[in-house]
Structure 1
Amino acid sequence: MLNRYPLWKYIMLVLTFIFGLLYALPNIYGEDLAIQITGTRGATMSESTLLYIQKYLTQNNITSKSISLINGAILARFSSQDIQLRAHDVLLNVLGDNYVVALHLAPATPSWLAMIGAKPMKLGLDLRGGVHFLMEIDMNTVLSKLQEQTMNILLQELRDKNITYTSVHKNDDYGSYISFSDASIRDQALSWLISSHRDMEINRSGSYGISAHLLDNYLHEAHEYAVQQNIMILRNRVNQLGVSEPLVQRQGSSRIVVELPGLQDTARAKEIISATAMLEFRLVNNTVHQTTQAHSSILDNSEVKFTQKGQPVVLYKQVILTGNHITNATVSVDKYNQPQVNISLDNLGGTLMSQFTKNNIGNLIATLFVEYKNSGKKDTKNNPILVKQEEVINVATIQSHISNLFSITGINNIKEARHLSLLLRAGALIAPIKIVEECTIGPTLGMQNITQGLVACLWGLIASILFMVIWYRKFGLIATTALIANLVLIIGIMSLLPDATLTMPGIAGIVLTLAVAVDANVLIYERIKEELRNGRTVQQAIYQGYHGTFSSIVDANMTNLITAIILYEFGTGSIKGFAITTAIGIATSMFTAILGTRAIINLLYGGKFIKKLSI
């Protein structure tokens, strides 16, 4: 029989709509001002920690709307921003370095919806407010450091082979030039270095010299490694801030975009993200008197660094260990009640430290703190110029064999120790980065964007409904029902997808989808009217209206879907947001316009003798 659906199809459609409605509902409840407390690697969250926090909030007359332990983090919700900020200060002082206390915006979704995994849509920076950073990696520093390491390796190998050289200097193209006293020694060095360094181009240069340059593919690999590692470290640092749904992604050759939606403590975020702190452990050169000044003649394998008080320390250039091997860093006080940072190393770092200390008991080891800071000046491209600052923060005698666990002392105060430990836990950046663009979007502007987007959706919906009802009457009302169901499904699916983030362009995609969603119904209804004019019965006209236009509707929507997929694949940021909502809207509009309206029409007219349609 024409125009009849089996019962299972109606059940499927009803369940689909209920499913979409349930997962769209959390978006109407908004967000609570909250504080999120997470433990570092040295601390775990438990019910006892929860009771401990509740106790201190009560003692300070701070009332929370709720406080709970969820997925290994404690979340406390508050009724106003003043109470939230007071609670943040109290908990920061009480909990100390073993916990991360972050200002937060938490969804106010009811528990019965949260139990089924229903969450509100993730809002982008332009809708939720927050902070946006565009950072550029200082590749000159990366390649210069690689150049210095390569040169030190070459010189060490020459010394190991008892091949003497007269002088050495760096070339402008990140290469090295080494000169010798005569051609025979030069040729001996050249023969050995060429055989042991396939990744370098080593040639004769001048009368008694050689030049060594890293191959282009090796430099490219170093460039890519620096970018990828910095992205990974920045993600770790963002996690330390406790920000939900952050965006950290590459832009171009050597730039990284960091967006932190919903972040309130922007100064703290900037301090942590842009800090380029590194530790180097080096052996102190006891053969040179420690009062040697920076301009004095120092051996090629050593250099002078200074403590915070300006005292010179002569260090070997060879780095024993870097902060890259640090797996955890916590703060405590030593027996003299002075702050110290307790370091845990990975297996490789522990092995290197073990081998070194075993063979150097009685010698001095120094901890060199390296940081790149903004000089306040800008280059010709108006980008900030970074200045490298190095400081010896600790010199200690190796008294015993140590490996994975040890402590750094000599730090000025507990705040500085906490800051250093946080940076070390998150990881040291492979290369210094500079913020070339910074923009903060307040929650008020975000709410304004949401309001304007909703108004645009509403007017687009009203315009489509008025057109369909005036032009197609009862069938227009059926199409309107499908249009509303379409909007509910789009919101439900967007809320369900873990990687989907709604932005202003995403709202534009929804508005566009709603505006053109009735196209399929217009094609179907016009075909029905045409079939009626050709003398078909009502049942035949309805059947031909859906059957005859199906391929055209699918072809048109598939073309749009392919375009959306291409936009998502090759676009970035807001373009992807537009592509996601457009693709979801295309799929749901086809479902509601073809199956949804057909089900309602079959229910109202299917199998009945009808002489005239309200179309």
Structure 2
Amino acid sequence: MLNRYPLWKYIMLVGIILVGLLYALPNIYGEDPAIQISGSNNSTIVDINTQKQVEQIINNNKIPFKSIIFENKSILIRVATNDIQLKAKDVITKALGDNYIVALNLAPATPSWLNAIGAEPMKLGLDLRGGVHFLMEVDMTTALDKILDATLDTLRADFNANKINFTGLSKNSQQQIIASFDNNDARNAAITRISLSPDYQLIKQNDKQIVIGISERRLQRARTDAVAQNTTILRNRINQLGVSEPIVQRQGADRIVVELPGIQDTALAKKIIGATATLEFRQVNTSNAYDINDIVTGKSRVPYGSEVKFTKNGYPVLLYKNVILTGDHIIDSSYKLVGENSQVSIQLDNEGGKKMLAFTQKNLKKPMATLYVEYKDTGKVDSDGKPIMEKQEQVINTATIQDIFSNNFQVTGIKDYDEAKQLSLLLRAGALIAPMKIVEELTIGPSMGQENIIQGLESCLWGLLISVAFMLVVYRLFGLFASLALIANLILIVGMLSLLPGATLSMPGIAGIVLTVGMAVDANVLINERIKEELRNGRGVQHAIDEGYSGAWSSIFDANITTLITAVILYAVGTGSIRGFAITLGIGILTSMFTSIVGTRALANLVYGGRRIEKLSI
């Protein structure tokens, strides 16, 4: 029989809309002003005891709060108003001191019964929620210096392996390597070895010296790797600190965009992302020929190829300059208590595992040190206007290599359990391959974000009202079907955006939603006009409805599939807000096709299906 749906189709339709409504509900509850507390450095621990301390501080100062929760190594305090939020922040900051980051934030006010089923509000972009935006530039000079140091070690090993006698290997101020030789034969042999590698290029030569440069191909790869690794490590570091919905992505050749929605304190945000630190594993020089105290006091010189570094307690350690491995090769790290001491387990990537295997095979039972290196802005600039970074180094651990290992190994002998915990956190979060500087910063207040939300909602509402009015006037009852489908379409879009983990709504995303409202109306206009055309051609009511939907389907499908392809391309090649627009547009196309065709057909079948009707309200 024409225009009759089986019961299961109605159940499916109602079920889909109810699920969409359920997951769209969290968006009506808004957000609570909140204070987020985390450690400002690796030695500061935030745990349940810290939560009790903070709760006592709040109660002693008679500050009302909704809840206080410890999760993801940070404490989140919800309050009722912005005034209470500011007062609580000042009180807590003063009581806890500089060892903690006390940041203003916004926390979803979703009821627990919705959270229990995984229903959360849409993730809002920086332009809607407010927060801080940084544009960071990677210090390529430092990254290339590391490449030069590694190249020096590689060339030294290669020359020795091929019995090429050289009198010196050093680097100059132009980021080039100068190799010196006793005779022309050794020089020519070195030139032959260099020509075999695509990573080197011969700049110039004379009787006893050659100047070696790094090839442009190798430099480009180093720049790309530096930005890519810093982007990944920054993202991991921000996640470790518990910042909600961060955006960390590459922009251009050597820049990274960091957006922290909900964070309102720029200074504290800088502390979160500005720790431009690296980790290095070095071999300890234990030769009896040198007295470390004499070297520190200046009575004897530092041996060639070594340097003195200090622990946090000021104890000197003589390390070889050659870096075994840097922290960017660490995949994961964990810690546990073994007897009276603690143990940190480390997992390396394939490249790091190969390097560590080669090193431990040659240096069994010898000590290895973990060096923490941090670059801090001195506040001064060089002749090019770039900030001058000061290098600060500290030995955070030394341990003896007990066995040959590669990808997985343990650092043992750590007496302090908290030290092991913090070392594991540092290793797991990762270390930047090169320091970075902030070249642009922007703070968007929550009031501006709220204003953008209101304007976006008003645009959606006006678009919906105009579309509904047009459909009701022109198509009457079928216009009502289309209007109900429009409302269901918006519910499904919001529900899908709330459900998808990677979707973030921004102002361009709202524009995508408004656009899909118009596209949904367009589909119903095609269907309704086709039905009217069939009625004018003398078709019966039931045949006109059936032919209207089936005849318009191909046109609707072709129009929407081409737009969907455009949305996919925008998502694939775009970044940031362009991707947000593509996501909402793509979701809107799929939901509008469902509600415009299946939804309105179900309503038409429910009202007119299987009946003798002489006239349609269309």
Please say whether Structure 1 and Structure 2 have the same fold, judged by a TM-score greater than 0.5: yes
User: Match for residue 133 of structure 2?
Assistant: 132
- Which has the larger displacement, 31-40 or 127-136? 31-40
- The AA in structure 2 aligned to 1:268 is L
2:427 is the alignment partner of 1:427: no
Q: Are the aligned partners of 2:309 and 2:395 in contact in 1 as well (CA < 8 Å)?
A: no
- TM-score w.r.t. the length of structure 1 is 0.80
Inter-CA distance 440–193: structure 2 relative to 1 (3 Å threshold): same
SS in 1 for 2:321: strand
User: Match for residue 346 of structure 1?
Assistant: 346
SS in 2 for 1:64: coil
User: Match for residue 335 of structure 1?
Assistant: none
2:509 is the alignment partner of 1:497: no
- Which has the larger displacement, 143-152 or 162-171? 162-171
Inter-CA distance 419–35: structure 2 relative to 1 (3 Å threshold): farther
- Note the aligned Cα RMSD (angstroms): 4.7
SS in 1 for 2:106: strand
Inter-CA distance 42–304: structure 2 relative to 1 (3 Å threshold): closer
- The AA in structure 1 aligned to 2:225 is Y
Inter-CA distance 406–101: structure 2 relative to 1 (3 Å threshold): farther
Separation (CA, whole Å) in 1 of partners of 2:380 and 2:6:
73
Per-residue deviation at 1:99? 8.6
Aligned identity (percent) is 53
Q: Are the aligned partners of 1:138 and 1:434 in contact in 2 as well (CA < 8 Å)?
A: yes
Separation (CA, whole Å) in 1 of partners of 2:118 and 2:395:
50
Separation (CA, whole Å) in 1 of partners of 2:211 and 2:415:
40
Per-residue deviation at 1:68? 4.4
- Which has the larger displacement, 321-330 or 81-90? 321-330
| Structure 2: tracts of 5 or more residues without a match | 336-341, 348-352, 403-409
Q: Are the aligned partners of 1:283 and 1:316 in contact in 2 as well (CA < 8 Å)?
A: yes
Q: Are the aligned partners of 1:320 and 1:353 in contact in 2 as well (CA < 8 Å)?
A: no
Separation (CA, whole Å) in 1 of partners of 2:82 and 2:296:
54
Per-residue deviation at 1:251? 1.8
- 1:454 counterpart (434, 453, 457): 457
Q: Are the aligned partners of 1:143 and 1:219 in contact in 2 as well (CA < 8 Å)?
A: yes
User: Match for residue 580 of structure 1?
Assistant: 583
2:126 is the alignment partner of 1:121: no
2:481 is the alignment partner of 1:478: yes
Per-residue deviation at 1:220? 3.8
- Which has the larger displacement, 1-10 or 275-284? 275-284
Separation (CA, whole Å) in 1 of partners of 2:251 and 2:214:
26
SS in 2 for 1:181: coil
Separation (CA, whole Å) in 2 of partners of 1:307 and 1:579:
52
User: Match for residue 145 of structure 1?
Assistant: 146
Separation (CA, whole Å) in 2 of partners of 1:42 and 1:142:
27
Separation (CA, whole Å) in 1 of partners of 2:570 and 2:400:
61
Inter-CA distance 366–73: structure 2 relative to 1 (3 Å threshold): closer
Inter-CA distance 393–15: structure 2 relative to 1 (3 Å threshold): closer
- Which has the larger displacement, 461-470 or 85-94? 85-94
- TM-score w.r.t. the length of structure 2 is 0.80
- Which has the larger displacement, 55-64 or 108-117? 55-64
Separation (CA, whole Å) in 2 of partners of 1:601 and 1:521:
12
Separation (CA, whole Å) in 2 of partners of 1:479 and 1:360:
75
User: Match for residue 206 of structure 1?
Assistant: 206
SS in 1 for 2:389: strand
User: Match for residue 181 of structure 2?
Assistant: 180
- 2:546 counterpart (524, 543, 548): 543
User: Match for residue 373 of structure 1?
Assistant: 377
- 1:529 counterpart (526, 529, 532): 532
Q: Are the aligned partners of 2:38 and 2:75 in contact in 1 as well (CA < 8 Å)?
A: yes
User: Match for residue 81 of structure 2?
Assistant: 80
Q: Are the aligned partners of 2:476 and 2:617 in contact in 1 as well (CA < 8 Å)?
A: yes
Inter-CA distance 480–210: structure 2 relative to 1 (3 Å threshold): same
User: Match for residue 266 of structure 2?
Assistant: 266
- Which has the larger displacement, 267-276 or 47-56? 47-56
1:78-132 superposed Cα distances (whole Å, 9 cap, x missing partner): 2234544565567678889999765432111112222221111000010000111
Inter-CA distance 208–522: structure 2 relative to 1 (3 Å threshold): same
Separation (CA, whole Å) in 2 of partners of 1:588 and 1:395:
55
SS in 2 for 1:518: helix
Q: Are the aligned partners of 1:279 and 1:367 in contact in 2 as well (CA < 8 Å)?
A: yes
- 2:592 counterpart (589, 592, 596): 589
Per-residue deviation at 1:60? 4.7
Separation (CA, whole Å) in 2 of partners of 1:399 and 1:45:
27
Per-residue deviation at 1:480? 0.8
2:512 is the alignment partner of 1:509: yes
- The AA in structure 1 aligned to 2:411 is N
Length, aligned pairs only: 588
SS in 2 for 1:346: strand
- 1:404 counterpart (411, 427, 430): 411
Separation (CA, whole Å) in 1 of partners of 2:371 and 2:431:
15
Separation (CA, whole Å) in 2 of partners of 1:552 and 1:159:
74
Q: Are the aligned partners of 2:36 and 2:76 in contact in 1 as well (CA < 8 Å)?
A: yes
- Which has the larger displacement, 570-579 or 177-186? 177-186
User: Match for residue 406 of structure 2?
Assistant: none
Separation (CA, whole Å) in 2 of partners of 1:184 and 1:550:
81
Separation (CA, whole Å) in 1 of partners of 2:519 and 2:279:
58
| Structure 1: tracts of 5 or more residues without a match | 331-341, 410-417
Separation (CA, whole Å) in 2 of partners of 1:200 and 1:572:
35
Separation (CA, whole Å) in 1 of partners of 2:310 and 2:387:
19
- The AA in structure 2 aligned to 1:317 is K
- 1:601 counterpart (598, 601, 604): 604
Per-residue deviation at 1:261? 0.7
2:322 is the alignment partner of 1:318: yes
SS in 2 for 1:79: coil
Inter-CA distance 442–408: structure 2 relative to 1 (3 Å threshold): farther
1:29-84 superposed Cα distances (whole Å, 9 cap, x missing partner): 00112345679999999888766764554345343212346678654322234544
Separation (CA, whole Å) in 2 of partners of 1:395 and 1:458:
59
SS in 2 for 1:106: strand
1:510-540 superposed Cα distances (whole Å, 9 cap, x missing partner): 1111123111111111111111111112122
Per-residue deviation at 1:603? 1.1
Per-residue deviation at 1:210? 3.2
1:328-356 superposed Cα distances (whole Å, 9 cap, x missing partner): 899xxxxxxxxxxx995737799979997
- Which has the larger displacement, 86-95 or 114-123? 86-95
Separation (CA, whole Å) in 2 of partners of 1:552 and 1:395:
68
Separation (CA, whole Å) in 1 of partners of 2:373 and 2:329:
15
1:451-496 superposed Cα distances (whole Å, 9 cap, x missing partner): 0000100111111111111111222122111111111111111111
- The AA in structure 2 aligned to 1:123 is L
**1:92-107 paired onto structure 2 within 5 Å:** 103-107=104-108
Inter-CA distance 357–77: structure 2 relative to 1 (3 Å threshold): farther
Separation (CA, whole Å) in 2 of partners of 1:57 and 1:66:
11
Separation (CA, whole Å) in 2 of partners of 1:427 and 1:94:
30
Inter-CA distance 157–58: structure 2 relative to 1 (3 Å threshold): same
Per-residue deviation at 1:170? 3.2
- Which has the larger displacement, 543-552 or 350-359? 350-359
Q: Are the aligned partners of 1:105 and 1:262 in contact in 2 as well (CA < 8 Å)?
A: yes
Q: Are the aligned partners of 2:485 and 2:600 in contact in 1 as well (CA < 8 Å)?
A: yes
SS in 1 for 2:386: strand
Q: Are the aligned partners of 2:284 and 2:317 in contact in 1 as well (CA < 8 Å)?
A: no
2:261 is the alignment partner of 1:254: no
Separation (CA, whole Å) in 1 of partners of 2:370 and 2:47:
39
Per-residue deviation at 1:563? 0.8
Per-residue deviation at 1:234? 0.4
Q: Are the aligned partners of 2:506 and 2:580 in contact in 1 as well (CA < 8 Å)?
A: yes
Separation (CA, whole Å) in 1 of partners of 2:372 and 2:583:
48
Separation (CA, whole Å) in 2 of partners of 1:533 and 1:359:
94
